[in-house]
Amino acid sequence: MESSLLGSAVTPNVGLFGANSNFVGLQCGPKRQRVVALDLPNLQLQGTISPSLANLSYLSVLNLENNSFHGGIPYGLGHLPRLQVIDIKNNQLNGSIPTSLFQNQRVQVVSLAFNELSGEMWKGPWYVPELKVLNLRNNSLMGIIPPSVRNATKLMNFSLSGNRVSGNIPKEIGNLSQLAFLYLFDNQLTGFIPVTLFNISSLLALSLGINSLSGPLLLDERNTMSNLKLLDISYNQISGCIPSNICQLTELKALSMSFNSITGDIPKNIGCLSKLEEFYIGYNPIKGTIPISLGNISTLQVIFNISSLEVIDFSFNNLSGRIPATIDTGARIDAAMAVEYLHHGHVTPIVHCDLKPGNVLLDEDMVAHVGDFGISKILAFSKSMAYTETLGTLGYIAPEYGSEGIVSTSGDVYSYGIMLMEVLTKRRPTDDEICNENLDLRKWITQSFSGSMMDVVDANLFSEEEQITCKSEMCIAPMIELGLDCTKEMPESRITMTDVVKRLNKIKNAFLEM
């Protein structure tokens, strides 16, 4: 029986099956011993799927995912009267999708992703009243998405990504009131994004990137898409401005608009997206200034309240003005945590020996990474210092490093303190006004301070629109004090990188509470 049903697929794996119907992966009904399920995933099965499977009139589940089946999908499978699940993803199937699958009244899951299927999607009327999952991603399907998709009224997950589907996105998709995931990225779709999509209250993810969609992004004023967490329209030809009512998407965690033709300003109310974690807007001809409050991107108390933002990408725009200096607070903490891990994350500490701004790099996600370990030292067990003849960078190395060749974790703390003060003062430790007076950056700060932090702090940390207030100084003063504590002359008097991380986080939290 098995050989006739599975055809050549069973030939190289005949040992998996016994002489009766109780072999692994086959489930029969309790009364008449009719086959109700074939569950054979991840078994390295090969060959073709036999048309004889269409004779299993009681079959409700067919799961052959992650094997090596080739050939076409038997047309008769769509006519199985009790079929609920057909999962044949991640094989090597080719040919077209049987139109009968779009006429099956009981099927709930159709998963044919990651195959080599081609041809057009069924343009005729869909009659799949129970269909909940339609996963066709990463094939070579062509044609259009037919308006009759509206008949799949229970559809929750529709994935067509990674195909060659063209035409418009049918507005009828907006009638799918239970749809939670719509993935149409990496196709050849054209036309406008239907406003009706933004009225699906159940939608969690809308991914339309890498197409040829055009026109403005329009959100209906009656928008009910309050649960949306992902919106991706990147790599299209979207024009116009970012709609101001985007703030209605209060649950949004990821917003990707890169590589379009979006113009205008960044909406001032975009900060109301309080759960936003990723914001990509690069490669657009956006003009205007970056909102000042983006510098307070992690605060909970300001009007631009984006408390959990992790990634901001403003690359390749026409934006003017400066990025608020407070936006790099996270980078300073990232670098401190990296050095703390080197010092305290191993039984044998690692001393970097050459911490300086050029060795702290921001990646595309604005996360700081410490690099260039060319002269770093691993301290022997139970040793707190070592000696070296290779100097780090003048101005950043600790006094004991340059004079005696002593390297220790305290030396890295000193270098970090210099970097911190350089950011706050906009003065390098090698600037003429410092070197000509035979000073270091620490001594320059202590000598220049005459009662106000603004005596030493870079005035450009505050924009013209911001007033320098007591609160401003209360934020900056602990940072200067931290830099001074890191750069004390005696190594044993300096704090540890663990202390640095704790104090930076404390400063950040105190700032958020103002």
Q: Are 388 and 405 in contact (CB under 8 A)?
A: yes
Give every CB contact of residue 487 below 8 A, 6+ residues apart in sequence.
414, 417, 418, 421, 440, 441, 442, 494
Long-range CB contact pairs, 15-20, < 8 A, 24+? 16/43
**Beta strands 385-387 and 406-408, pairing class:** antiparallel
Question: Residue 16: helix, strand or coil by DSSP?
Answer: helix
Give the pair of three-digit tokens for residue 161.
């990504």
Which listed residue (87, 186, 354, 412) is catalytic? 354
| Residue 458 known to be catalytic | no
Q: Please state, in angstroms and rounded to a whole number, the distance separating the CA atoms of residues 229 and 253.
A: 5
Cα 367 to Cα 295, 332, 362: the distances in Å are 15, 10, 5
Instruction: Please classify residue 119 by burial: count the beta carbons closer than 10 Å to its beta carbon, then call 0-12 exposed, 13-18 middle and 19+ buried.
Output: middle
The one-letter amino acid code at 53 reads L
User: Hey, which residues does 111 pair with through a beta bridge?
Assistant: 87, 135
147 exposed, middle or buried (CB, 10 Å; 0-12, 13-18, 19+)?
middle
Contact 356, 375 (CB under 8 A): no
**Residue 117: left if φ>0, alpha if ψ -120 to 50, beta else—which one?**
beta
Residue with the two structure tokens 């709930």: 108
> H/E element holding 392?
none
Q: Where are the alpha helices (DSSP H) in 270-408?
A: 329-344, 399-404
Pairing mode, strands 261-262 and 237-240: parallel
Report the alpha-carbon angle 63-92-47, nearest 5: 75
Between CA 199 and CA 201 the distance in angstroms is 6
Rounded to whole angstroms, the Cα distance separating 139 from 158 reads: 14
Q: Encoding tokens for residue 157?
A: 């997950």
Query: Would residue 5 be called left, alpha or beta, if left means φ above 0 and alpha means ψ between -120 and 50 degrees?
Result: alpha
* Sign of the CA dihedral running 58, 64, 65, 70: negative
Burial of 389: CB neighbours in 10 Å, binned 0-12, 13-18, 19+: exposed
Class of residue 78 by CB neighbours under 10 A (exposed 0-12, middle 13-18, buried 19+): buried
- Active-site positions read 354
